[in-house]
Amino acid sequence: MTGAHRILLLAFLLAAPAYADVIYLKNGDQVTGTVETLDATTLRIETEWGGVLMIERDAIASIETQREINLELPDGERALARLDVDEDGRQVIVDETGERALDVAAIQQASVTQLRARPTDRWVSRVTYGLNISDGNSDTESHALRASTLLRRGALRHQATADVDLKKDDGNTTRELYRVGYQLDWFFQDDWYAFGSSEYFQDKLREVDYRVTLGLGVGYQFWDTTLGAFSIEGGISEVIEKVGNESDNNRAFRIGADYNRFFFSRRMELFHRNELLVLADRDRGELLKTSTGLRYAMNAFLDANFRIDFDHETEPAPGRKKSDVTYIIGIGFTW
């Protein structure tokens, strides 16, 4: 090898990356690059051949890093450690205390920089408004207003919502719905919380003069990060209502779910919420409500959105349909 060749080889070795992290996927593939962050749903890695890639956490079997990174482990433990894979293919972490096995799913978050603070204290409010007016063969006017606020302070989380949905066709009111709710969550252990909830609902067109629901129960927060959140909860509710000119009180089992996920650098959001009440009185059956949609952020405060609201009663007032489906396109304001 000539002197010139030696110089070129040395320059190449000096320019080559000092380390390369490896992501082992469950399908057998491998991705090599530099791990930047890992959160509840996604791993971010920078590669030489494809730039920055986002890998779904559920697709990862194990991670191997060539340098120490910041980790958040179960029970809030934080460590500066290297991720490795042992001879049996198990995920391990290596720090100054030695090596220990730890499944990828148990790593709460990881970052080459300072770890993100847990989203405990925050206050977010949103107002969404949809308007539809047509004049021609038919005269239609509809208004859909939804307001919500979420306040988290330490172990307490307050959530309040209000919905108004009005529609007139050729001067006749064809929809008139009002709903106001409040829920208080108390996180008593890690991601477990106890809740108390209340809601007032009225829909004169379906002959629901009023429905007051008071509930208690327990929920679990699977994740709550900057990329989204997912929780489920269940409990017992008291349903006080007047439907079809008949007043009644019923106990009910309640189960609910709340999911949202951000995409494209938080510009797009997918959300879904649902609640099912199984009434103890079999003659009343079940009550189901869901709301599913997309939001597209035009800036930090303004978004365009589309959602589908679904309300279902297995035993509605006589002469009324069991289900109502509402499609709403609107704009939203977040602060």
- Classify residue 287 as exposed, middle or buried by CB count within 10 Å of its CB (0-12, 13-18, 19+): buried
* Residues ≥6 apart with Cβ < 8 Å to 73: 79, 93, 102, 106, 107, 108
3-class DSSP assignment, residue 244: coil
Both 103 and 186 in one domain: the answer is no
What per-residue confidence (pLDDT) applies to 256? 96
Closest CA to 295 of 287, 283, 306, 280: 306
Can you give the CATH number for the domain in which 244 is found?
2.40.160.40
Q: For the chain, percent helix, then strand, then coil, each to nearest 5? A: 5, 70, 25
Query: Rounded to whole angstroms, how far apart are CA atoms 186 and 197?
Result: 12
What per-residue confidence (pLDDT) applies to 138? 56
Residue 37: its H or E element: strand 30-38
Query: Rounded to whole angstroms, how far apart are CA atoms 140 and 153?
Result: 44
What per-residue confidence (pLDDT) applies to 133? 64
Closest CA to 218 of 186, 249, 248, 246: 186
Both 148 and 105 in one domain: the answer is no
pLDDT exceeds cutoff 90 at 303:
yes
pLDDT exceeds cutoff 60 at 63:
yes
Both 181 and 319 in one domain: the answer is yes
Domain end position, chosen among 78, 111, 144: 111
State the DSSP string of 151-204. Answer: EEETTEEEEEEEEEEEEEETTEEEEEEEEEEEEEEEEEETTEEEEEEEEEEEEG
Q: How far is CA 97 from the centre of its chain?
A: 37
- Residue 117 within a domain: no
Query: Rounded to whole angstroms, how far apart are CA atoms 211 and 275?
Result: 15
- Residue 88 within a domain: yes
pLDDT exceeds cutoff 70 at 236:
yes
Residue 80: its H or E element: strand 78-85
Query: Rounded to whole angstroms, how far apart are CA atoms 52 and 184?
Result: 40
The boundaries of the domain holding residue 239 are 122-334
Domain end position, chosen among 85, 111, 137: 111
Both 160 and 179 in one domain: the answer is yes
Both 179 and 103 in one domain: the answer is no
CB 302 within 8 A of CB 331: yes
- Residue 46 within a domain: yes
Closest CA to 311 of 286, 333, 293: 286
* pLDDT band, residue 120 (cuts 50/70/90): low
> Mean pLDDT across the chain, nearest whole number?
86
Higher pLDDT, 318 or 139: 318
3-class DSSP assignment, residue 220: strand
What does residue 240 show for φ and ψ, rounded to 5 degrees?
A: -115, 120
Query: Rounded to whole angstroms, how far apart are CA atoms 74 and 106?
Result: 6
Tens-digit pLDDT profile for residues 146-171: 999 999 888 899 999 999 988 888 77
What per-residue confidence (pLDDT) applies to 230? 94
Average pLDDT of the segment spanning 212-236: 91
Both 41 and 164 in one domain: the answer is no
Both 189 and 106 in one domain: the answer is no
Closest CA to 10 of 33, 32, 47, 2: 2
* pLDDT band, residue 135 (cuts 50/70/90): low
The DSSP bridge partners found for residue 144 are 130, 165
Query: Rounded to whole angstroms, how far apart are CA atoms 322 and 72?
Result: 48
Both 106 and 127 in one domain: the answer is no
State the DSSP string of 82-146. Answer: EEEE-TTS-EEEEETTEEEE--GGG--EEESSPPPPPS-SEEEEEEEEEEEEEESSSEEEEEEEE
- Residue 116 within a domain: no
Both 161 and 185 in one domain: the answer is yes
Tens-digit pLDDT profile for residues 240-281: 999 888 888 999 999 999 999 988 878 899 999 999 999 988
Query: Rounded to whole angstroms, how far apart are CA atoms 306 and 217?
Result: 31
Domain end position, chosen among 65, 89, 111: 111
Both 282 and 167 in one domain: the answer is yes
Average pLDDT of the segment spanning 92-105: 87
Please state the domain count of the chain: 2
Higher pLDDT, 119 or 129: 129
Both 218 and 325 in one domain: the answer is yes
Range among 106-115, 132-141, 300-309, 320-329 rated most confident: 300-309
- Residue 276 within a domain: yes
Average pLDDT of the segment spanning 185-213: 92
Both 75 and 196 in one domain: the answer is no
Can you give the CATH number for the domain in which 88 is found?
2.30.30.100
